[in-house]
Amino acid sequence: MGMPGDVSPEGAAIRTAGLTKRFNGLTAVDAVSVEVRYGEIFGLIGPNGAGKSTMIKMLTTLLPPTAGHAWVAGFDVGTQPTEVRKRIGYVPQVVSADGALTGYENLLVSARLYGIPRAEQGARIREALDLVGLADAAHTLVSRYSGGMIRSLELAQSTLHRPVVLFMDEPTVGLDPVAYRAVWEHIADLRRRFGTTILITTHNMEEAEEHCDRVAIMHLGRIVAVGSPADLTRDVGPDATLDDVFVHHTGAAIESGGSYREVLRTRRTARRLS
């Protein structure tokens, strides 16, 4: 099902058409077509096991789709993965900063992998450390960082090359309220300064309601509703929350779902960050 010329992938930061991923007969993402505009903070929301992480892994070129297409920043993730990789940042749900290195060294590795010219590396790294408030901890091993500091470092690391689109998989799981607020301040800051498009996944409906311009509600691999939190809740009823919207569209409570492995991963991440 190749996409004909009538779509203009340039127009959207992310666009998928019938995007599907099956694992041994299990359909994790089921023919999803969705569009994210440039400059949005977009939330992919739903319970564990809804297919959010699989979506993100396909969009970041980590997993090849079983069927369908996806374009990120105007490039096809299947046929132009390197072009996509140059333009995206990714903060996985698991902890991606290397604990055996210092904050500065983690950033140095990223600077080199993203081809930031040597003459510019030092200034970029300093600026990134300042932006997330880690200048004083630059030369401390990351294994001694707190959970909030680790997430901040990962944000700095994934945006050092100023990506067009930043993907964050459950960025605030396991963070205390102070760190939670700091992470969201950094995200807002990024968008303000660089116009970065941000796609996050979360199973926390309040978080999505508060911070996302638009959300897509995922359930069993499908997107059941897309829109701004205000529009979605208004359609369900007065005083409705996104939780109510979820129940309205799926007939299921948000707590359900999540494979053993996913629950394990979430807990392990939470433990490492706390």
**Residues of this chain that bind another protein (CB under 8 A):** 10-11, 13, 23, 37-40, 57, 60-63, 73-74, 82, 85-90, 92-102, 105, 108-110, 112-117, 141, 157-158, 161-164, 194-195, 213
C-beta closer to another protein: residue 40 or 207: 40
CB of 222 to another protein, least distance (A): 21
CB of 162 to another protein, least distance (A): 4
Amino acid at 87: R
Residue 151 token pair: 């997430």
The counts of H helices and E strands in the chain are 10, 10
CB of 252 to another protein, least distance (A): 26
C-beta closer to another protein: residue 103 or 246: 103
Distance from the Cα of residue 14 to its chain's centroid:
12
Contacts (Cβ under 8 Å, ≥6 apart) of 258: 47, 48, 49, 266
DSSP 93-142: SS--S-TTSBHHHHHHHHHHHTT--HHHHHHHHHHHHHHTT-GGGTTSBG
C-beta closer to another protein: residue 73 or 205: 73
CB of 170 to another protein, least distance (A): 12
CB of 220 to another protein, least distance (A): 20
C-beta closer to another protein: residue 1 or 100: 100
Separation of alpha carbons 209 and 223, rounded Å: 17
CB of 225 to another protein, least distance (A): 20
User: Which ranges of 177-250 would DSSP assign to H, the alpha helix?
Assistant: 177-194, 205-211, 229-236, 242-250
Distances 218 to 29, 47, 237, 238, 261 between C-alpha atoms, Å: 9, 8, 20, 23, 19
Which stretch of DSSP H or E encloses residue 58? Answer: helix 52-59
* ∠ CA 223-55-116, rounded to 5°: 140
C-beta closer to another protein: residue 38 or 244: 38
C-beta closer to another protein: residue 199 or 254: 199
CB of 96 to another protein, least distance (A): 4
C-beta closer to another protein: residue 127 or 256: 127
